[in-house]
Amino acid sequence: MATSVKGIILAGGSGSRLWPLSRQQLPKQFLNIGGASSMLSATIERLDPLVGHDDIWVVTGETHATGEAFSELEGLNQILEPCGRNTAPAIAIAAALMQDLSGEDPVMVVLPADHIVANKEAFQACLSKAIEVAQEDRLVTFGIVPNAPETGFGYIQADAAGGDGVRKVLRFVEKPDIQNAQRMLDDGNYYWNSGMFVWKASVIIEEVEKYIPEMAALLNEMRSRWNGKEKWQEVIRSSFEKMPDISIDYGIMERSERVSLVPAEIGWSDVGSWDAVHEMAKHDADGNEMSGNVMAIDCRNTLLRSEKALIAAVGIEDIIAVETPDAILLCKAGQSQRVKEIVDNLKEGEGRYHVEHVTVRRPWGSYTVLEARGDGYQIKRIEVKPGARLSMQSHQHRTEHWVVVAGTATVTCGNLVKTVSKNESAYIRIGEVHRLENRGKIPVQLIEVQVGDYLGEDDIERFEDMYGRT
């Protein structure tokens, strides 16, 4: 009998289908999509009170933990991946850690960080049932009761329900065409694959040993190291890249004979496209969903989102338009799954439209690119939160000129530490070790002019950093 329940939140995805809002450095799980808080925060909140906050662990990339998602992850238990290796390695490592850190065999509730569940009460009822079944050494998944012949999801076929409503899984089905999707909907024994799982740590590890033995061997090596004298996060950092790149569905769930399904009607969406966002949103009488700086006349069935510029629309129908300060997406409704093709093409170029926004979050605050690189210079607006400071660093290819426009900055240049007030400036030479910090109680805002033959963010050598980025 398991003695505790642990929440494992998978937050390592890229969310490329929600570009341009979702970017590589700040994907959709860390954004507010149709809610008052980020999708990660909403996922954690819906576990309360069945899983306590201290028993929740977030599996995410190292770059997220020290980059734009820092504020979303701060204060949470984290398992950091140095690179992407799909869901099976992440879950296997989490299972081993939950056993070794607790000294128990806990039930694990494994949830993606980027789904919407509208009905928390129904979700918790399903979760309670799944936890009960998992303690019988079953692998439990949530099967979403389908309401349409959806071709964007995988399906799960299950047998007739038992007295407790739980069904044995017969097989997993790849994303179907429309004819097969309709057939499965009419059959009534097929469910959408939600990617939400509940099982005991020991049971999933047993299945890993049975079906992915090469992963199990590496996992055992890692466990022997962190149960010795090595820190477990350092073990993951040094060994994770050797893990096979495989999903938990393909590696375990499609092959195991221990899989049960809890039918779930919980107001679920994987928010896998802008069409899905539109479907989940509140519409006006003409089927429009509008947010931000938008003016629409005689429009129908549109999704119009603006972060800055005015979107003015007249007489359009079945159109998705999403504006960010540096990019605009225009897409016909029903075609938004293809936004990933745009991102794939962007990756082939030299730009950073798929990587980051014009305003980039950092643990200490943010910076906004006001004038893009060109002719050897770049202009930024930098904001530093009270009590925060940048790393002690130097640059080999650029100088920096800071003009403070709000607050009071403390600037370290070599051995000199000076206070720079509003309308005063500081100059940083090439190679000079320097730091910017805010010792005051209001944000520091400054304009930074960079001049040099290379202006990339990787021209930073860090010597000391309070956020662990050295």
Assign 368 to helix, strand or coil.
Answer: strand
Task: Fill in the DSSP letter of residue 307.
Answer: S
Which pTM was predicted? 0.92
How far apart CA 445 and CA 432 sit, in angstroms, is 22
Q: Which helix (H) or strand (E) holds 182?
A: helix 178-187
Domains of the chain: 5-269 (3.90.550.10), 274-339 (no CATH), 363-464 (2.60.120.10)
Beta carbons within 8 Å of 42's beta carbon, 6+ residues apart: 35, 116, 117
Q: Give yes or no for a contact between 16 and 354, defined as CB atoms under 8 angstroms apart.
A: yes
pLDDT of residue 173: 94
323 φ/ψ angles, rounded to the nearest 5 degrees? -110, 130
How far apart CA 58 and CA 376 sit, in angstroms, is 41
How far apart CA 142 and CA 119 sit, in angstroms, is 14
Strand partners, 394: 461
Assign 436 to helix, strand or coil.
Answer: strand
How far apart CA 165 and CA 126 sit, in angstroms, is 10
In 3D space, the residue among 150, 138, 158 whose CA is nearest the CA of residue 185 turns out to be 150
In order along its 470 residues, the chain shows pLDDT tens digits of 346 999 999 999 888 999 999 999 999 999 998 777 999 999 999 999 999 999 999 999 999 998 899 999 999 999 999 999 999 999 999 999 999 999 999 999 999 999 999 999 999 999 999 999 999 999 999 999 999 998 889 999 999 877 678 999 999 999 999 999 999 999 999 999 999 999 999 999 999 999 999 999 999 999 999 999 899 999 999 999 999 999 999 999 999 999 999 999 999 999 999 999 999 889 999 999 999 999 999 999 999 999 999 999 999 999 999 999 999 999 999 999 999 999 999 999 988 999 999 999 999 999 999 997 678 999 999 999 999 999 999 999 999 999 999 999 999 999 999 999 999 999 999 999 999 999 999 999 999 999 999 998 899 999 999 988 87
